[in-house]
Amino acid sequence: MAKATTPKDQKFDKQDFDMFEALAALDNKDYGYYDRLTVEQQKKFVPYMLLIWMSCVKGDTDLQNYYLQSVDFHANKYMFNEYIGRHPKLQWLMLCSSSPGLGKKFHQYISHISTNVRNLKSVPKVNDIKDFYKKLYPNTDVDTLDEISKLFVAVQKRKVYFAEKFPSLKIEDIEILNDLVTQEDIDNYETESGN
């Protein structure tokens, strides 16, 4: 079977995948959009980026909650399954099914916590975490954000301690250890061992 070629008149036109055009198509539940992409654009289709952008929408809280939960339920749960990952059109259809079909919305990118913090290489700073949560929850009062940020940093500090003490442990094991051991237990251990 011959390989599909791009017509000469389209060879240099529209080779880039326009993510914002794709987001508008997702908002309108355009199931046929992926089929209308050129072969070059289909190769540049990145479902992960659309998943991140699609899940965060500006608007009232109910709409934000709907998008987040719907994207998680319809797309995120199975998007990177080893079989579904081989079928980008199916991934597109999953993303389309997560949209309420209310027309074009303003989507924003959700920033991430740094890789060193996620991999338990360093303890985050309270202000960085506070800024991160402020972007995720713009309507939350400052005191609540401050309290959540301090709690996150305290938990993360304990996890980094375990990662340094037991470098052979996996992150999942460190999570379990973090749930079982308190900061008081760590302080007692350090005192008894003379550190």
- pLDDT recorded at residue 140: 83
The verdict on 129 and 183 lying in the same domain is yes
Q: Domain ends where: 66, 97, 128?
A: 97
- pLDDT recorded at residue 75: 87
pTM above 0.85, yes or no: no
- Looking at residue 179, its amino acid is D
Burial class (CB in 10 A: 0-12, 13-18, 19+), 132: buried
- Does 106 reside within a domain? no
Name the stretches of the chain with pLDDT < 50: none
The verdict on 120 and 171 lying in the same domain is yes
- Does 76 reside within a domain? yes
Longest dimension (CA), the chain: 76
Going by the DSSP 8-state scheme, the letter that residue 86 receives in this structure is G
- Residue of 180, 160, 86 lying closest to 118 (CA atoms): 160
The verdict on 90 and 31 lying in the same domain is yes
Beta carbons of 160 and 126 less than 8 angstroms apart = no
- pLDDT recorded at residue 101: 85
- pLDDT recorded at residue 4: 59
The verdict on 84 and 119 lying in the same domain is no
- pLDDT recorded at residue 85: 82
Sign of CA dihedral 102, 137, 95, 114: positive
Count of domains forming the chain: 2
The verdict on 137 and 175 lying in the same domain is yes
Does an H or E element contain 164, and which? helix 142-165
The verdict on 26 and 85 lying in the same domain is yes
- Does 5 reside within a domain? no
What gap in Å lies between CA 47 and CA 56, rounded to an integer?
A: 15
Domain that holds residue 72: 17-97
Radius of gyration, alpha carbons of the chain: 22
- Does 12 reside within a domain? no
The verdict on 89 and 125 lying in the same domain is no
- pLDDT recorded at residue 2: 57
- Residue of 152, 149, 68, 62 lying closest to 108 (CA atoms): 68
- Does 74 reside within a domain? yes
The partner residues of 57 in beta bridges, in order of sequence, read: 107
The verdict on 126 and 55 lying in the same domain is no
Six-digit token string for 40: 């070059």
Q: Domain ends where: 97, 130, 147?
A: 97
- Does 4 reside within a domain? no
The verdict on 121 and 91 lying in the same domain is no
- Does 178 reside within a domain? yes
What gap in Å lies between CA 123 and CA 2, rounded to an integer?
A: 55
CB hemisphere CA count around 108 (13 angstroms): 11
- Does 89 reside within a domain? yes
- Residue of 120, 148, 122, 123 lying closest to 133 (CA atoms): 148
